Amino acid sequence: MDYYLQQLVIGLSLGMVYALVAIGFTLIFGVLNVVNFAHGEIYTIGAFAGLLLFVSFAPPLVVVLLVVLAVGALTGVGLERFAFKPFRRFNDEATLKSRAMREATLMSSLALSIVAREGIELVFGSQFQSLPLQHMLNSPIKIGPVTIVDGDLIIFGTSFLMLAGLQFVLKHTSVGLSIRAVSNNALGARYVGIDTDRTIAWTFAVGSGMGAVAGILVGLYYGAIFPAMGFTPGIKAFVAMVMGGLSSIPGAVICALIIGISEALSSIFVSSVWQDLVAYAFLIITLIFFPRGIFGGARERV
Amino acid sequence: MNASDTTSRRWLWTGLILTGLFVIVPLLLSLAGRSYFYQIANTIMIFALLAASMHLVTGVAGLLQLGHAAFYGIGGYGAALLATHFKLSFAATIPLAGLMAALIAFLVAVPTMRLVSIYFAVATLGIGQMLHVITLNWVAVTKGPNGILLFGGMKLFDIDFSKPVPAYYLVAVIVAACVYVIHRLSHSYYGNALRALREDDQCADAMGINTPRLKLESFTVSGFFAGVAGALWAHTAGYISPADFNFNVSILILSMVVLGGLGSLPGSILGAIILIGLPEVLREFKAGDFRNIIIGVVLFGVILFQPRGLIGEVSALDFIRNQFGLGRKARSDGKQMRVGWL
């Protein structure tokens, strides 16, 4: 029983991380209707930025998280400028939602993600980076029968703070208002005078910042920072987005938690090398049986 | 130009390509005289077949495929396991490996065929990853990350096909035959139906084309050829491991098709020659480490600056222009509006 509880805690913190990554996907899909394939690399870049910071200045964790948030946001804006903006020359609705547009940006972000990953690999090498032990988040804490590590608590805390912050930004600031307006109806938002390009840049900043923080949190939790680390979480976050109904943030968060917990619990029954299959199976099942997401959010043809 | 001119030109081109493939390249290779060059030539031909098979499904039928390496891998593992476990002759394993890949492609395609655009792309990506995880971890059958070694045994009619020259001719003949079949498929009424699917699947549906069935067929056929390519790779390389068939390989094949131009068979093959050949040429300048970066940069540059590819028949952005009549319109200040950077 204790073991189950323990796995549940691990699953929850895993799911929280997927949720942070999935929110970036969902926000970007909401405003642009495209998949950002380089989102996983933002996660990697966040982890490496945090690693560099720890090795060179060893600041307290809060500072690192804030800096990583900023680095992620800046990288996201840069990514938008290079991989998405050049394809957004026309502003009629049909073009913004066309299939060609989506596939072109999908491939351009994919190409940039290869460049980013291989670039990191050239500089740092493809092996795991060694992290100073005292920075790792794995000192055990006993709560009743369950032993968790402080990393679990920090991941919970940070994720809750960021989710609350996101909710605040979306609901109570003018940037959030324009993000919601553009994702509701890009053309309408433009007609009422919202600067859509700016809003899209802001969306990338917010989403990528959260993805980057997720990267450094996982890096510290598992002590595994390497150039290809962003690929699998990226796919799993994408699965969470599709399951949650594409543009619904609460849906994506709940599905990310479901995926995280199922993965952790699956390791009770099968060897942990197979746990990646859980997310892929979820993806295929969702796409085939619930193409509109399990909460029925999507409004278009999938 | 009258019809006989076209026909004679076509014969001229066919003759040139076949002479190049079967006479000039082997001559050059034997002059260079290093078996390493034969290996590169084989790799180029195998990837040309892979790019051609992806061309059928992505370029002609317009289904973005992100898991092509999975079918390549099924072919490779199928051939290797049939040859090592069941002691089948290599000549039998090649078509059998293709059939295995086609069967899996068919099974994959049945449930996913109703998905469109990126959802289909992501479903193929997910399935490709699943197969990769399985080959990596099903150690009892696939020997996991250690891979499988194939010992010689490539003998048929007293010719030892593990020697460089016969191996080259074996690969060249099979690849040429497969590419010819793909060529005939994509330049026929059947290919035109697939193109209709690519341009607008709802419209094609409305005109009475059975779109799910076409998608199913093109996907299965493409899987077959990818499987044949995998079998050729397993036999010529003599060793396969899951790393030969991971996501990066899918992207590499996709880059070849995009670089050459979506919808163009010669373009896909040219893309394969460039993307496999270029890193080998650059190896002289110690650029081997940059191989994947080069692929990323090339893919990005092509999408941004030359979305039609080198010799493509459609470009993503031209499609928009034609569709909405916007791109070519002169602006009021006399400048042409362009898609792309500024």
Q: Which residues contact A8 (CB under 8 A, 6 or more apart)?
A: A261, A264, A265
Q: Which residue intervals of chain A are DSSP H helices?
A: 2-32, 39-56, 61-79, 93-96, 99-124, 150-172, 174-184, 186-191, 196-222, 231-244, 249-269, 276-289
* Partner-chain residue, chosen from A103, A276, A291, that has the shortest CB–CB distance to B64: A103
Report pLDDT for B145. Answer: 75
State the nearest Cα–Cα gap between A18 and chain B, in angstroms: 17
Chain B positions touching A239 (Cβ under 8 A) are 126
Residue B117 to residue A103, Cβ atoms within 8 A:
yes
Q: Write out chain B residues lying below 8 Å of A104, CB-based.
A: 303, 307, 316-317
Residues of chain B contacting residue A95, judged by C-beta atoms under 8 Å apart: 320, 324, 326
Which residue out of B300, B305, B324, B328 would a mutagenesis test of the A interface target, given it has the greatest number of A Cβ atoms within 10 Å? Answer: B300
Substitution target from B68, B138, B297, B317 for chain A, most A beta carbons within 10 A:
B317
Residue B317 tokens read as 């952005």
Q: Can you read off the two tokens belonging to residue B191?
A: 């290919």
Number of A to B CB contacts under 8 A, please give it.
135
Mutation site, B104, B116, B118, interface A, largest A CB count within 10 A: B118
Residue A293, token pair as written in the block: 């997401």
Residue A91 sits at the chain B interface (C-beta within 8 Å) = no
Query: What type of residue is B306?
Result: Q
How far apart, in whole angstroms, are the C-alpha atoms of residue A128 and residue B3? 63
ipTM of the prediction greater than 0.85, yes or no: no
pLDDT at A95 (0 to 100): 59
Indicate left, alpha or beta for B62 from its phi (over 0: left) and psi (-120 to 50: alpha).
left
Question: Which residue among A100, A242, A273 sits closest to B137, beta carbon to beta carbon?
Answer: A273
Residue A233 C-alpha, separation from nearest chain B C-alpha, in angstroms: 13
Residues of chain A neighbouring B300 (CB-CB closer than 8 A): 83, 108, 111-112, 115
Measure the CA–CA gap between B304 and B122, rounded to whole angstroms. 22
Selected for mutation to probe chain B from A85, A92, A118 (highest B CB count within 10 Å) is A118
Contact check, Cβ <8 Å, B116/A118: no
Is the CATH number 1.10.3470 carried by domain B13-324? yes
Q: How far apart are CA A260 and CA A79, in angstroms?
A: 28
CA distance, residue B80 to nearest chain A CA (Å): 24
Minimal C-alpha gap between B255 and chain A (Å): 9
Per-residue pLDDT of chain B (342 residues; tens, 9 = 90+): 456 677 777 777 777 877 777 777 777 777 777 777 788 888 889 999 999 999 888 888 878 888 888 899 899 888 888 887 777 777 788 888 899 999 999 988 888 877 766 678 888 888 888 888 888 888 777 777 777 777 666 666 666 666 777 778 888 888 888 988 988 888 888 888 888 888 777 888 888 888 888 888 888 999 999 999 998 888 888 788 888 888 888 888 888 888 887 778 888 888 888 888 877 777 666 655 677 787 788 888 887 776 666 665 554 445 444 444 444 443 444 444 444 333
Query: Residue B154 in 3-state DSSP?
Result: coil
What parts of chain A have a pLDDT lower than 50?
A: 298, 301-302
Other beta carbons less than 10 A from residue A177's beta carbon? 16
Provide the pLDDT for residue A104: 77
Comparing CA positions, the residue from A47, A54, A43, A214 lying closest to residue A134 is A54
